[in-house]
Structure 1
Amino acid sequence: MSIALLVVVGFALVAVGAGVTFMIASAVPQSMLQRAQDHGRFAGLAAEDQNGGSGKRVDAGRPHLGNQAINAI
């Protein structure tokens, strides 16, 4: 195979991937898009979500900082 053919095949694969991605994104229902717009990235993760959300309540007074190491000299 020549380099030119490899370049053309590469561009064709990228174009097919972009087209399939567009078709998948076009198939998403409008209600899901509206919910994503209203709630942002973490939609459905709230503990009080009626649709079976899997998130946990977090105490707003004390943020969860995870495991911490003490850095001392």
Structure 2
Amino acid sequence: MSIALLVVIGIALVAGGVGVTFALASALPQDVLQRAQDNGRYAGLTADDQGGSTGTRATTGARNLGHQTINAI
């Protein structure tokens, strides 16, 4: 298998992924996109966010126990 064939296959796979992504984004209704924008992973992370959450340290609720040794058999 030559390098040129591998490059062509790679480009075809990337183009296929782009096409599928575009088709999925085009097929979703506008209300689904709006709900995802409001409640999605990056909801509330705008530059004008006044909640004070930008730049603050995220805590998991667990105590910081320092360095611990893992005892395994």
> What is the TM-score when the length of structure 1 is the normalising length?
0.54
- Residue 8 of structure 1 is matched in structure 2 by 8
- Residue 66 of structure 2 is matched in structure 1 by 71
- Once residues 10 and 23 of structure 1 are traced to their aligned partners in structure 2, the CA distance between those partners, rounded to angstroms, is 20
DSSP 3-state at the match of 1:23? helix
Match of 2:36, as an amino acid?
Answer: A
Structure 1 segment 48-63 matched on structure 2, within 5 A = none
Matched residue pairs, number?
52
- Residue 26 of structure 1 is matched in structure 2 by 26
> Which ranges of 4 or more aligned residues in structure 1 deviate by more than 3 Å?
none
- Once residues 35 and 5 of structure 1 are traced to their aligned partners in structure 2, the CA distance between those partners, rounded to angstroms, is 43
Unaligned runs of 5+ in 2: 44-58, 68-73
- Once residues 32 and 61 of structure 2 are traced to their aligned partners in structure 1, the CA distance between those partners, rounded to angstroms, is 32
DSSP 3-state at the match of 1:65? coil
By how many angstroms is 1:24 displaced? 1.0
* Percent sequence identity over aligned pairs: 62
Q: CA RMSD in A?
A: 2.7
> What is the TM-score when the length of structure 2 is the normalising length?
0.54
By how many angstroms is 1:39 displaced? 2.9
Unaligned runs of 5+ in 1: 44-62
Structure 1 residues 38 and 70: CA distance shift in structure 2, 3 A: closer
